Amino acid sequence: MDLIFFYILAILAVLSALGMVTARNAVHGVLFMVANFALVAVLYLLLDAPFIAMVQIAVYAGAIIVLFLFVVMLIGPVPTSLRDKLPGQRPLGLLAGLVLLLLIGSVVAVATVTAGGGISSGVASGFGSPQAIGELLFTRYLYPFEITSVILLAAMVGAVVLGKKGQ
């Protein structure tokens, strides 16, 4: 039953991602993104990673989406003169999407054959718990975590400087 629920949620997540990419209205695209983030959070819950699911909701579906909606409302719609600048963009995008689907399909086929026809739960019992994430974050991934915080700080300072120049 969990496998059927997983596949249904995965299909809905892919459909919401496609809706986000193909939406003509930017606000509708952001709302499709909210649906996608929520569906991915439920997939995390199915994979026994409740902490990652709550971070997905709090950080992405909360903060990032508010930021995206603010930017979309501030900038407004994209002018039609900027939409199709590259002449071969659509066919190339469709070809890249088809290649991506074939790669994903082959990975799923190999994983299904290797796992004996189903999705295996080959993760440790504490996977996704706050304690396990904290231990990894502040031991093995301490330097990348700190570098990311410095890059985000530099981006924030850059945004403030660029925002002040216009005044």
E strand or H helix that includes residue 25: none
What does the pLDDT profile of the chain (167 residues) look like in tens digits?
A: 778 888 999 999 999 999 998 888 888 888 899 899 999 999 998 888 888 888 888 888 778 877 777 777 777 665 655 555 667 777 888 899 899 889 988 887 887 776 665 555 566 676 767 888 888 888 999 999 899 889 988 888 887 777 776 55
SS3 104: helix
Q: How far apart are CA 109 and CA 131, in angstroms?
A: 34
Q: How far apart are CA 14 and CA 80, in angstroms?
A: 27
Residues 6+ apart with CB under 8 A from 9: 39, 42, 43, 46
Nearest CA-CA partner of 43 in 134, 131, 119? 119
